[in-house]
Amino acid sequence: MIKVFLNGSSGQMGQLIAKNIESYDDMQIVGKKDKDVFEKGEQFDIVIDFSLPEGSKEAFQIAKQNKAAFLCGTTNLSHNFIQALKSEKEIPVFCAPNVSIGVFLFSRLLKEAVQKYQGYNFALHEEHHAKKKDAPSGTAKSLAAFIGFPEEKITYVRKGKVPGTHSLTITSSVGDEEILLQHKALDRNLFASSAVKIARWLVNQKGGFYTMENFVK
């Protein structure tokens, strides 16, 4: 039985993750934390964190104190905290601004496109639901860093209930052709189901830092 402590349990992602965990016979939520809730029952194997940056720091300490794995899908983390996660050796730690396998493969496609289309102009744009607090998104920032695109030039829109759309537009220098590469999440459950799959994998890893690249392999 994989026992889970869920941080950010009342958020949209937290609720979806809880539903996904319920679909497994060998997984169980034994503790949860949010701004107004802190419930901790028996010992757990992993802390799953989809919250806010300050909440992630607390969740990481909870994981370390209980010698449990730590999966962090929270975005807009500070550089210092990310470095602390990368330096962890005692417990398995996974951190990614986007846990979708499709987004991971999309990032590799973008990198190849940027390398192939020398001399072309690039524009990176993202759209998310109106309630998303960070802008540009952590995923957009990660994509920009990966392909060498200036973060300050990312454009974004917050509207409706859009789960998440990221696009790279490639335009020739003379304006005679345009290529659009896009990843569109159609349902937020995409991220929740992927997070649970990663959690099931992470509990079997040795202490250290892991990313989507490790998981996809």
Question: Which residues are the active-site residues?
Answer: 128, 132
Q: Is the dihedral of CA 145, 208, 86, 189 positive or negative?
A: positive
Q: How far is CA 165 from CA 4, 138, 194, in A?
A: 30, 12, 17
Q: Is 187 exposed, middle or buried (0-12, 13-18, 19+ CB in 10 A)?
A: exposed
What's the rounded Cα separation, in Å, for the pair 125 and 137?
Answer: 10
Which residues does 138 contact at the CB level (< 8 Å), separation at least 6? 75, 76, 77, 97, 98
Of 132, 58, 63, 64, the residue nearest 98 (C-alpha) = 132
Of 86, 87, 44, 32, the residue nearest 69 (C-alpha) = 44
Q: How far is CA 28 from CA 95, 130, 165, in A?
A: 22, 32, 32
